[in-house]
Amino acid sequence: MRTTNGGGILIVGFLLIGSAGMFMAHTARVAARPANDGPTKENAFEAEKELGEAMRTNDADGVCRLLDPDWEVVDGNGGINNRESICAAIKAGTFTRTTYEPDLANARVRVFGNSATITFHLALSGPFEHKTFSGQEVEADVLRWEDGGWKCVLTHETNIRGTLVIK
């Protein structure tokens, strides 16, 4: 098969135009993202909002992605659970939320180097281990900044007296 010089130039031209289009689209996406300025109150708060949304929608993959592999939760009754057990329960559908309403408008966010604490009130309900629960709590999350993002390393829940109902 014989190719003329003009055909070769045309093919190279299409390749260059396609490459330039992909480069410009990538550059636009990068420019649309906020600059990674390291750990800040703002991006810690955004990470907490993302984790809350994953919890609210029972998004097991989202929750598990935002929890550090060594994450643990101290629940309102003094029990301790780890990431593996909680992620497995969410994926199996044995631990879901019917409601998950964090009061992030009044959250307390503090950053200490590459760590952050976020404390807020939370109303929640749903099934867990063949029972239904509802209640209000104060939740404190400890986040660690690593590899350009936040991961939750510890959650501490305190039940607000008189609000926990288990049926």
Per-residue pLDDT at 126: 92
pLDDT for res 138: 98
Q: What is the pLDDT of residue 36?
A: 64
Average pLDDT, the chain: 83
Q: Would you state the pLDDT for residue 130?
A: 82
Element (H, E) at 142: strand 131-146
31: confidence class by pLDDT, cuts 50, 70, 90: very low
Q: Is 133 in contact with 157 (CB distance < 8 Å)?
A: no
pLDDT tens column, 73-121: 999 989 999 999 999 999 998 888 999 999 999 999 999 999 999 999 9
| pLDDT computed for residue 19 by the predictor | 38
Residue 93 CA to residue 112 CA, distance in Å, equals 36
Q: How many whole angstroms separate alpha carbon 48 and alpha carbon 46?
A: 5
Each residue of 39-62: pLDDT tens digit?
999 999 999 999 999 999 999 999
Query: Integer distance in angstroms from the first to the last C-alpha of the chain?
Result: 78
pLDDT confidence of 16, banded at 50, 70, 90? Answer: very low
pLDDT for the residue 6: 53
Portion of the chain with pLDDT greater than 70, in percent: 78
Residue 66 host element (H or E): helix 60-66
90 vs 80: CA distance, rounded Å = 16
User: Can you give the pLDDT at residue 35?
Assistant: 53
Q: Which token pair is 55?
A: 């919890």
